[in-house]
Structure 1
Amino acid sequence: MKGLYLVEPVVALYAFSSFLIYPLVQQYVYRRLWQQLTNTTYPINDNTSRCATNGSSSQSAFHREVQQQASLFSLYTELFSTVPSLIVTLMLVAYSDRGGRKITIIMPLIGTLLYTTTILAVSFFELNVYLLIGSSLLSSLFGGLGTFLGGCFAYIADLCEDDRQKTLRMAGVDMMIGLLSGLAAISTGYFLRAAGFNWPFVTSALCQCLILLYAVFILEETVKKPPRDAITSGGSAQPSALKQMLYGVYQMFAGASHRCKTVLILLILIFTSFSFAYMGGTSLVTLYELNEPLCWTEILIGYGAALATTVFLTSFVGVSVFTYCGVPQLVIVLMGILSVLSGLILLGFTKTTLVMFLVRVPMFLAIMPFPVLRSMMSKIISKSEQGALFALLSFLESLTSSVSSAVFNSIYAATVAWYPGFVFLLAAGLCAIPLFFLGVVGLIGVDVPVGREKPEPVYSGEEDPVENLDENSPLLN
């Protein structure tokens, strides 16, 4: 059977299976902590807001205590899983330049499946909820979302020849994530109300098994050359993968002109600083919805999450229309950052259900900067270094996402008693950092060719690339 060069079905089903349980894990942990801390059952009713029937001061104190503990639980989960995931992301995605892109897709799928089955076991047998932290650590050894997306974007970069096609296809991947995650988010509330926590976890695990089979047996590899160092080193491929990672990242900058290196570094700074503000601010939306005065039910949380994921669709439409109309890419990035900035400010002052739904309106272009920045950076470097670039971007995205989640969760735990919306205003203020770097890039200009000053050496896997570096190389200093 001939394989397919379609990675989009993998992304779509992965998004559906992940977002089917992502809001549920937060709610499951919240309910278990409620039971442990209050020695009472979690209040469930059919009202649009639980605050309508539970407005006593004791209930308010319970809410604040559970909010703090749930926020710290998320903090511990991020801290224990961040470092292994980052290391695996760097090594796998950089190694995929020679070893193939599929390994960067298959390994995270295995880790996600292990995490989902652990959640199912904890829920079904009512095990200690803190086992989920250990499960998150175990799954991170297989890579994470950064590894998966880094491999998928490098896979797409292998197949696309012109910049316009690359930008649109990467934006299409982001759109599919949004559409399928939105569909999953709508389903979670009704699924939870009708069948409890176990069946959504089972459904997610079955979807992930299906994805894994597709990735292993149907998805075609884009990198045909086998990793020769894995053969000649007697089975010890890990040191070669580490050298390839260092060598690939070094080569991105070594042969580039000064102007290309400056623009590339500035684009990376825009990407990471914007990711930090956006990911950190939006990671606390579910906790904010569970807190007073909103006190949303699982149905409302599902609708809110589904509405939030429509920004992937609107952002894709925005990228497509603006690209077709010839709008400069920097302007597209600017509109996306301003969209996030306005939405976070409104979110910081939200007190009613109606306004909470309306918050998503100004953020309808929030995802546009990510595919556009990836495409701009991919255009600057050569085709043989796409894996190294996306390994670096995935590493930085995972790092900023994990660090921002930990930072914002700790800030939220400290400020939830006096002003829960403070973290969103802080995230909005941090959007000034990517705006500043964006202005610098606008002054320099981004119409630069691939910055090679001399033919790049071909790394065969037999020699040690680190030993062949010049003694004045910044990588060795």
Structure 2
Amino acid sequence: MKKFYFVEPVFAAYAFASFLGYPLVQQYVYRRLWKDITNTSYPAMNTSSRCSTNSSNHSSHQEWSGPPWTLTEQEVQKAASLFSMYSELFSLIPSLLVTLILVAYSDQRGRKITIILPLIGSLVYCLSFLAISIFELNLYLLIAASFVSALFGGIGTMLGGCFSYVVDLCEDGKQKTLRIAGLDMVFGLVSGVALVCTGYFLRVAGFNWPFFTAAVCHLVNLLYAVFLLEESRVVERTVDSSTSGGEMNKLTFGIYNLFAQGSRRRNGLLVLLIVIFCSFSFANFGGLTVVTLYELNEPLCWSEILIGYSSALSMVMFITSFIGVYVLSRCLPDLAIIFIGMLSVFIGMTVMAFARTTLMMFLVRIPMLLAIMPFPVLRSMLSKVVSKSEQGALFACVAFVDSLFTNLGSAAFNNVYSITVTWFPGFVFLLAAGLCLIPMSLLCALRFFHFEDGSESEGLLAEEDTQVTDSPPVA
């Protein structure tokens, strides 16, 4: 049977299945909590908003017999945000450890293991959700399902494995940047399509069929990864690595060796770039994690259809960010491209904090059209600093800290949202915008204290890459 070196189909199918279910989990939890807290069924809504429905119910005093809307909404909002925080925290530690171990291990035994195991974990989660939904089991079993799924890795493991996979196949720095940006764009495009489908899928078929579809998608994807996808990195088994002691030594000290065999200058650059990456990820994804709750809250009170359209606009951001990287990389240095992307997020989050109408909530995505640009460019810059034999260890480290800060950001912003929702729901977005100033400041420091211009930065990266490639690996 012919095998392929195309990891993009695996990445795309994983994104589609994951994002087909992710917003549905939030809405399922929201509706279950609504029923438990209010002892009433979730209010029916039209295709636009349920605020108008509830307003008319208040005025007529005929159809709405539940507790006052604002008090009920606040209680459910708090409970839903806290549930999301607990779910993130319980899955955080196992996911981080598995990501760190598997992606670093892929330097020694190939990248496919970092792709196959997360697919198994996602399949387990989808089947668990189906069981909880069909048999109306305890809602908090979803947290247990998240924990079990995290034992197989998660999106951080998949990202680290796929980015390492494509870097293995690249020959130069520009090719790395475009290939990584292309992988980001595929992720955004397919996840955007999935998010468009969720609202209609939910309205027509309920919660079970979308997750059944996601489970089938993960299963087919798993079969492709196991039987068709070729290994990008095949390492010869030497005598010293054939023993369990040598294998464990390489696994344990992979990331340590990444820094131990580099110069102080290279290590400083690596650490600074990773800090910039993670601080921006914390602010960006931390703010985005509460967008669905914000849209469900007054005065927007969106239906599942509008939530699907809103989430799907991320597809446009991935496309425009890829085009931005492709065009701007021809005339601007990497640091300038990253700064423009961070500025895009800063402006978008600030405007979102004051969005009170449906039109404004859709228009707020316009200043965020280049929001994804910093991620592929930073990954590319990091990959240029180390040799090909260290890509797994590098992306393991990046995926570890990225997953850590993304999950902590999600938990922190959900907690802040539960505290501030009663007096200013948009506060979390102002907080996210303020936190974006940290990586932007570090980026300026990197520019003015380490490099004279963009060409010098590229020269340093190439120089460090050569030094690391020529140095013998530490056993």
TM-score category of the 2 structures, normalised to the smaller one: over 0.9
For the Cα contact (< 8 Å) 1:71–1:410, is it kept in 2?
A: yes
Q: Secondary structure at the match of 1:126?
A: coil
For the Cα contact (< 8 Å) 2:47–2:305, is it kept in 1?
A: no
Deviates more, 1:121-130 or 1:267-276: 121-130
In structure 2, the residue matched to 1:393 is: 398
For the Cα contact (< 8 Å) 2:334–2:377, is it kept in 1?
A: yes
Alpha carbons of structure 1 residues 53 and 165: separation in structure 2 relative to 1, 3 Å: same
In structure 1, the residue matched to 2:471 is: 456
Give the counterpart of 1:139 among 137, 143, 149. 149
How many angstroms apart in 2 are the aligned matches of 1:117 and 1:226? 38
In structure 2, the residue matched to 1:31 is: 31
- AA at the equivalent of 1:22: Y
Using structure 1 for the length normalisation, give the TM-score: 0.92
Q: Secondary structure at the match of 1:53?
A: helix
Using structure 2 for the length normalisation, give the TM-score: 0.93
How many angstroms apart in 1 are the aligned matches of 2:259 and 2:43? 57
Which 5+ residue runs of structure 2 have no aligned equivalent? 59-66, 452-456
Give the counterpart of 1:280 among 280, 286, 292. 286
How many angstroms apart in 2 are the aligned matches of 1:231 and 1:43? 62
Alpha carbons of structure 1 residues 95 and 47: separation in structure 2 relative to 1, 3 Å: closer
- AA at the equivalent of 2:53: T
In structure 2, the residue matched to 1:127 is: 137
- AA at the equivalent of 1:450: E
Q: Displacement, 1:256?
A: 2.5
Give runs of ≥4 in structure 1 deviating > 4 Å: 226-231
Residue 18 in 1 paired to residue 14 in 2?
no
Residue 436 in 1 paired to residue 441 in 2?
yes
How many angstroms apart in 1 are the aligned matches of 2:286 and 2:171? 34
How many angstroms apart in 1 are the aligned matches of 2:399 and 2:230? 22
Q: Deviations over 1:148-197 (max 9, x none)?
A: 01000000110001111111010001101111111111111111111111
Q: Displacement, 1:450?
A: 2.0
Pairing 1:41-80 to 2, within 5 Å after superposition: 41-55=41-55, 56=58, 58-80=68-90
Q: Displacement, 1:200?
A: 0.5
How many angstroms apart in 2 are the aligned matches of 1:391 and 1:456? 21
Q: Deviations over 1:414-452 (max 9, x none)?
A: 111111100100010001110111011112022311263
Give the counterpart of 2:347 among 336, 342, 348. 342
For the Cα contact (< 8 Å) 1:90–1:245, is it kept in 2?
A: no
Give the counterpart of 2:266 among 260, 278, 296. 260
How many angstroms apart in 2 are the aligned matches of 1:385 and 1:68? 44
Identical amino acids, percent of aligned pairs:
58
In structure 2, the residue matched to 1:148 is: 158
For the Cα contact (< 8 Å) 2:123–2:219, is it kept in 1?
A: yes
For the Cα contact (< 8 Å) 1:382–1:450, is it kept in 2?
A: no
How many angstroms apart in 2 are the aligned matches of 1:132 and 1:244? 36
- AA at the equivalent of 2:42: Y
Alpha carbons of structure 1 residues 453 and 42: separation in structure 2 relative to 1, 3 Å: closer
Q: Displacement, 1:205?
A: 0.5
In structure 1, the residue matched to 2:414 is: 409
Pairing 1:147-226 to 2, within 5 Å after superposition: 147-225=157-235
Residue 360 in 1 paired to residue 365 in 2?
yes
Deviates more, 1:35-44 or 1:223-232: 223-232
How many angstroms apart in 2 are the aligned matches of 1:244 and 1:359? 48
Q: Displacement, 1:388?
A: 0.4
> Size of the alignment, in residue pairs?
454
For the Cα contact (< 8 Å) 1:85–1:141, is it kept in 2?
A: yes
How many angstroms apart in 2 are the aligned matches of 1:64 and 1:146? 32
Give the counterpart of 1:328 among 310, 323, 333. 333
